[in-house]
Structure 1
Amino acid sequence: MSSKVQSLRERILSRSEIEGLIADGHQILIFDRKVLKVDAWLQYHPGGDKAILHMVGKDATDEITMFHSVDALRMLERYQIGRIEGRWVNFVPPIQGGIFQRHEEEVSGGEKTNTASESCQDGLFKRSGQTYLGLDSRTDTISLSSTVEPDTLKAHTGSLPKPGFLDIRTKQEIDLDLSRYPSLDPTKQDEIVQKFQELHERVKTEGLYDCPYWAYAIETCRYVFLAFLFVVFLRQGWYVASAVSLGMLWHLLVFTVHDAAHLSITHDYTTDSLIAFTIASFIGGLSASWWKRNHNIHHIVTNAPEHDPDIEHIPFFAISHRFFTSLRSTFYDRVMTYDPAARVFIRVQHWLYYPVLLFGRFNLYRLSWEHLLMGLGPRKGVAWWHRWYEMVGQVFFWTWFGYGVLYRSIPTMRDRFKFLMVSHMVAMPLHVLFTVSHFAMSTADLGASESFPQKMLRTTMDVDCPEWLNFWYGGLQFQVIHHLFPRLPRHNLARAQKLVLEYCEDVKIPYAFYGIVDSNKHVLGRLADVAKQATILAECQKAAAKDILRSH
């Protein structure tokens, strides 16, 4: 590397210069005090472009470190364009509604000016479209800061707008989280981050990233046994028993796909990707590349109603009243309309939770086909082959399952339908496992100043299950640990949990940990609470409509 290039990479960039680059459309993020311009990497990123877009303007040191190997981190040097001095105060990324202004070196008189947009700096929830109570027109988020004074707003509007039912509810939820979790004061958040990094070093020192391959030998024995039962029962004409065996096999195999997609088995990108894509597509008929794109966003913006696809299930479920405002999903790039169907389903969603999840696997087919046919995943770089490999896998799956099993091996339409439904519904507990750890947790936006570890602990729950049942939960009972250390092998998560519990006690962050029954009660309680809010909103709207009619 030439001394000139090295000098450019080590230059100090001001906040307004970085803002100006983002305003010009560049993808700028901070990693370990280094300023990275990753425009060129966007289309090559194996985890998808949106995972990067949610980090623009932010210090992404913890997120990047937790998701990438040492070799991957070394690649970042090529994108460095400068450094920062002092503590970085996060911007709100453009994809999340942040507004940025171009940098101006000088104004008349030769004085330098800093045009950093106050609407997108950290101070709680300052974004575009802000009104009284800080209601953000793009994100429907309430601000608790005093940046917008009522007298100032009144001077511009002539009156103070009355906060609505949804606005008040949002503020209540933010107030609750601010009372339960550590202060968002920079000094406290820096302490939480520093101790988290020390925790990560301890995790590495204790060898928790080393995969226990003997555990996968045991897992493989389970897979082979269930596959054997599936074939034997099918040939004997015991179609329900065969379908149950196949459904259980699919259920358990998903956990290995999850491990491999996080590169937590061999830690080699190509090897783990082959494991994930082969099992998901050839054996399960699903797309692991869709899952990676979806799941990476979930890990970065966990439980954010307008950003996290894992909680965007309108019209069937809403775990926040904010879905009543027809939010725009930044992942799906469409408005999640709170339409008449949603108004009906949401009001009884706590009764529909388990019945709807019975059909969850069919929705995964839809999402997988949509991802592959539309080419939504990376098409360049090390991931270029994913789409084509999985398309071959889809053909293989529907040949052996659709033609070989359903059509050739089962004689009647009635038995075929029964086999199809039973095999798919047996996997329903898997969808419960994926949702139970988040549906009951906070969806409040505490702003860009909240640290990565605090947000993961605030939005994720662990489930306490008997040790003998661990194989059925596949590591997903340790969702808190997994969100903090996503590349950690699942068979080591129990050991890591002890370290995290000590960390939480030290930094005074509550650790959500419930038994199987209580965790499900919490989820049903959250769904019932939001359903009640939907009912109240509907009654308010009816009353308002009657008042309008009377006035005319």
Structure 2
Amino acid sequence: MSDISSRARRKDVILSPREIEGLIADGRYIFILENKVIKADAWINYHPGGLKAIQHMVGRDATDEVTALHSAETRKQITRYQIGTIEKSWKNFVPPIQGGVFRKLCMEGEEESESESDGSGRSSSESTRAASLVFDGDQFSVRRRRGLEESDATSVTSMSSVSSSAIPDDLAFLDSQTKQEIDLDLSKYPALDPEVQEYIIQKYRLLSQRIQAEGLYECNYTAYAWEAARWSFLFASMLFFLHIGWYCTSGAFLGMFWSQLVFAAHDAGHVAITHNFTIDTLIGMIIAAPIGGLSLGWWKRTHNVHHIVTNSPEHDPDNQHLPIFAVNHRFLGNIWSTYHERLLPYDSVAKFLVPFQAYMYYPVLALGRFNLYVQSWKFLLLGQGPRKGIAWWHRYFELAGNAVFWYWFGYLLVYKSIPTPWSRFGFVMVAHMINMPLHVQLTISHFAMSTTDLGPNESFPMKMLRTTMDVDCPAWLDFFHGGLQFQAVHHLFPRVPRHNLRRAQKLVMEFCEEVKIPYALYGFVDGNREVIGKLSEVSRQATILAKCQRTVAERGDIFHGH
């Protein structure tokens, strides 16, 4: 092991998959970037976007993910932590955080064969299993443990092909639903063969070069001048109607002001305005904290993970809304959240609410901003963001900013400027509930799309397009959607400023046609219909599951009665 460590200190040394597997087994954070082997141990706790995003890249060729989310300057800095190179194309492991199993390097004197590892984070003798079913009394948890076979489509599942006689009826039902979703995805999207996925990757990289060459990464500052004029108009209207005592109308303009500013904060969070990390982060934090009462740091921590493991029930925090919403049937089986590091129980509260989730969708989203306050304060008070590196001071800036927000909004505006409790209540509720279209916009691009895990061989661009939809609208309505209607394009190229996404969309559509990946594009009304239909379907599945559980309980009663 000491010999491997000394070799790894030389950046030009060629490391084999077996050696890299051994390093990961020892707890190292290793990923591949442009054929370079990167060890992230020294800076993972300094990463402004949190450590979870990096953990999901361990053992993978993360070139496309890192390139999409980071500037060329940042990527150059990352290569300072290079410990070697790979000789040929890389076959992805399943990251440890997703359940990948890694073997330590053999000790001196032990025999070792390179063929023992198939590159999926487990030995070839284990290759017939894609996952494990974990039973704990009446709780059921599906945890991703091993990689998926290239040629065995039946193993492409988050639930192993376990004998149906070994699985209770309710769990067999969830298993069958997962397999149906996987079969549907495999029939609609390109094959998972390495050659096919490599072709998609190369075409995606050519598309990235074309977008760069056409100047779509350059920010349109004139568009931001118009944005600033719109913000000023909305805020001034809020003050005017507040002055004349039209408190609910005033609250409506304040809510619209916040919604429009969120679009700019989203740009800043992706360093898509000035492309300078410090300047854009300051812009984003000023909008989020003293103006909006939220935390950009919390958003970055969740959003970066969302961009890596989009729509995964087990890993994507933007999908995890129990006990109110279950956006996929797998939430009906007590899954483990790798983000929150706890079980997401399908408990009695969830069993009561989920059957009605299609009806609760809009009312709950109308109150969504209150939840954002809670999540932001939890993030800041518990110090969940980076405490070291270039982002160490962000927490204190946002704590001070949130104190400023509650002073001007809570004290000066709501308490001092509005005379009666009911007027205050109306002002606050309207200001927050008018943000509902924004929250709908953020969810419809994913809730109706695929949530299946097709394994480590799936390319980054195919996964993004399989799990994300765009919302079609005329150009004059772009200000209303704030660029968030181009979520599929945005997931492929997060650093492209939103004012350029409509132009980029045409290039992405050409790319999709060339590589035969379906491009999901719905009108706003149709997109909403898809989401409501998906929520209704999961509610139906929850009803069936409840019947299965009652049947199992009745069988148990009969058995014990005898």
The TM-score with structure 1 as length reference comes to 0.93
Distance 1:136 1:243, change over 3 A: closer
Aligned match of 1:336: 344
Q: What percent identity do the matched residue pairs reach?
A: 55
Q: Does 1:202 align with 2:210?
A: yes
**Greater Cα offset, 300-309 or 68-77:** 68-77
Aligned match of 1:34: 36
Aligned counterpart in structure 1 of residue 196 of structure 2, from 188, 192, 201: 188
Aligned counterpart in structure 2 of residue 250 of structure 1, from 243, 258, 280: 258
Matches within 5 A, 1:6-155: 8-104=10-106, 107-108=109-110, 116=117, 120=121, 129=132, 137-139=142-144, 146=152
Distance 1:548 1:224, change over 3 A: same
Write the distance in 2 (CA, Å) between the matches of 1:214 and 1:116.
Answer: 55
Residue type matched to 2:117 in 1? A
Aligned counterpart in structure 2 of residue 309 of structure 1, from 307, 313, 317: 317
Write the distance in 2 (CA, Å) between the matches of 1:531 and 1:301.
Answer: 24
Write the distance in 1 (CA, Å) between the matches of 2:283 and 2:39.
Answer: 32
Write the distance in 2 (CA, Å) between the matches of 1:157 and 1:518.
Answer: 40
Q: Does 1:293 align with 2:294?
A: no
Alpha-carbon distance, 1:139 to partner: 3.4
Distance 1:244 1:129, change over 3 A: same
Q: Does 1:385 align with 2:387?
A: no
Aligned match of 2:159: none
Residue type matched to 1:247 in 2? G
**Greater Cα offset, 5-14 or 438-447:** 5-14
Structure 2, unmatched stretches of 5+, are: 1-5, 135-139, 156-161
Write the distance in 2 (CA, Å) between the matches of 1:333 and 1:392.
Answer: 29
8 Å CA contact 1:44, 1:378 repeated in 2 = yes
Residue type matched to 2:97 in 1? I
8 Å CA contact 1:129, 1:138 repeated in 2 = yes
SS of 1:56's partner is coil
Q: Does 1:179 align with 2:182?
A: no
Distance 1:303 1:364, change over 3 A: same
Aligned match of 1:153: none
Aligned counterpart in structure 1 of residue 224 of structure 2, from 216, 220, 241: 216
Write the distance in 1 (CA, Å) between the matches of 2:316 and 2:114.
Answer: 37
Aligned match of 2:517: 509
Aligned match of 2:326: 318
SS of 1:432's partner is helix
Write the distance in 2 (CA, Å) between the matches of 1:222 and 1:111.
Answer: 66
SS of 2:203's partner is helix
Write the distance in 1 (CA, Å) between the matches of 2:427 and 2:339.
Answer: 34
Write the distance in 2 (CA, Å) between the matches of 1:141 and 1:514.
Answer: 35
Write the distance in 2 (CA, Å) between the matches of 1:199 and 1:441.
Answer: 23
SS of 2:417's partner is coil
8 Å CA contact 1:107, 1:113 repeated in 2 = no
Alpha-carbon distance, 1:129 to partner: 3.3
Write the distance in 1 (CA, Å) between the matches of 2:370 and 2:328.
Answer: 25
RMSD: 2.5
SS of 2:11's partner is helix
Alpha-carbon distance, 1:459 to partner: 0.2
Residue type matched to 1:24 in 2? D
Residue type matched to 2:493 in 1? F
SS of 1:450's partner is coil
8 Å CA contact 2:260, 2:482 repeated in 1 = yes
Deviations 1:207-255 (A, max 9, x none): 0001010000000000000010111111111101100000000011000
Q: Does 1:534 align with 2:542?
A: yes
Aligned counterpart in structure 2 of residue 486 of structure 1, from 494, 500, 510: 494
SS of 1:481's partner is helix
SS of 2:359's partner is helix
Structure 1, unmatched stretches of 5+, are: 150-155
Distance 1:532 1:392, change over 3 A: same
8 Å CA contact 2:117, 2:123 repeated in 1 = no
Distance 1:48 1:325, change over 3 A: same
Aligned match of 1:546: 554
Distance 1:238 1:529, change over 3 A: same
Deviations 1:439-489 (A, max 9, x none): 000000100100000000000000001222110100000000000000000
Distance 1:137 1:279, change over 3 A: closer
Distance 1:421 1:37, change over 3 A: same
Residue type matched to 2:101 in 1? I
Alpha-carbon distance, 1:304 to partner: 0.2
Deviations 1:378-422 (A, max 9, x none): 111111111000001011000000000111001111111111111
8 Å CA contact 1:104, 1:113 repeated in 2 = no
8 Å CA contact 2:17, 2:119 repeated in 1 = no
Q: Does 1:353 align with 2:361?
A: yes
Alpha-carbon distance, 1:116 to partner: 3.4
Distance 1:113 1:495, change over 3 A: closer
